[in-house]
Chains A and B, each alone.
Chain A
């Protein structure tokens, strides 16, 4: 769940940021595919770790604020 939920969060942000940038009617600066390929494995690995911490924090905050969830 941690990984999937955090992926969904990041995809939402990616779309939000892209739409905001597109609204400027200026040309998008696409990241060079070679650079993307170089960063992708790190992004995935780091993303997993971040996703775990992110979801843990979400669970803790919600459990505290809405203890009826069980």
Chain B
């Protein structure tokens, strides 16, 4: 065998080894590991906003509890064993730490109302955020990437703080008709500062549905 053939064979062997190690984990450990992989890659790509916005997943075989990052842990340093198990009402039933308020308001409501979505990813990616800063926020179907999304994006033009339960309810309602959701929100600092415009995107692993 040539050197490159040996290297290729070794690489395939290594790929198999990691895949086997993953498959040997129980379903709960797999979900925890996948959540950590998602957090750390998202952090590498700058999709996070400090230590807020959240990626959550329902516990396998359980519709009433979800995994969430403890408040204050950075996405890039999260470990599988750090993940909290949180009940839909916000009680932490496993793990050390607290769930951040907006995480509970948004993800708690969505996991309660959208059982088909086992995973909810909520990020603040600059490319998507920039588009939501425009008057016309439409994701135009003008590229190969965009071909995945016709009819799957819900635009939510309500403004509010995600510290109130009503915001989670609103998003969950809107999500019933779409798998992806661009959500521009207006955050209104309490006193003396200009309004800031933030945005978020959530995506779930629901079956595709047409958006009205």
Q: Which A residues fall within an 8 A CB radius of B?
A: 1-5, 7-8, 10-19, 21, 28-31, 33, 36-37, 39-40, 43-44, 47, 55-56, 58-60, 62-64, 66, 68-70
Contacts of B131 in A (CB 8 A): 15, 18-19
Q: Mark B22-66, 1 if CB is under 8 A from A, else 0.
A: 100000000101111110110001010000000001000000000
Asked if A4 and B149 sit within 8 Å, CB to CB, the answer is: no
Q: Give the one of A15, A40, A58 with max B CB within 10 A.
A: A15
Q: Which B-chain residue is minimally distant from A41 (CB atoms)?
A: B208
Q: How large is the interface on B (under 10, 10 to 19, 20 to 34, 35 or more residues)?
A: 35 or more
- Residues facing A in B45-102 (CB within 8 A) are 45, 47, 57, 78-81
Contact B139 A11, beta carbon cutoff 8 Å: yes
Q: Is the interface of A mostly helix, strand, loop or mixed?
A: helix
Chain B residues closer than 8 Å to A44, beta-carbon distance: 148, 208
- B interface, CB within 8 angstroms of A: 14-15, 18-19, 21-22, 31, 33-38, 40-41, 45, 47, 57, 78-81, 119, 121, 123, 125, 127-128, 130-131, 139-143, 145-150, 153, 179-180, 201, 203-205, 208
Q: Which residues of chain A are near B121, meaning CB under 8 Å?
A: 4-5, 8
Known A-B contacts A62-B40, A69-B80; the reply to A14 vs B145 at CB < 8 A is yes
Q: Could you tell me the distance between the alpha carbons of A70 and B18 in the complex, rounded to whole angstroms? A: 13
Known contacts A7-B180, A15-B127: A31-B148 contact under CB 8 Å: no
A44 vs chain B, min Cβ distance (A): 6
Inside 8 A of A33's CB, which chain B residues have their CB? 141, 150
* Neighbour of A12 across the interface among B22, B79, B127, CB < 8 A: B127
Closest approach, in angstroms, between the C-beta of B21 and any C-beta of chain A? 8
Determine how close the nearest CB of chain A comes to the CB of B153; give it in whole angstroms.
8
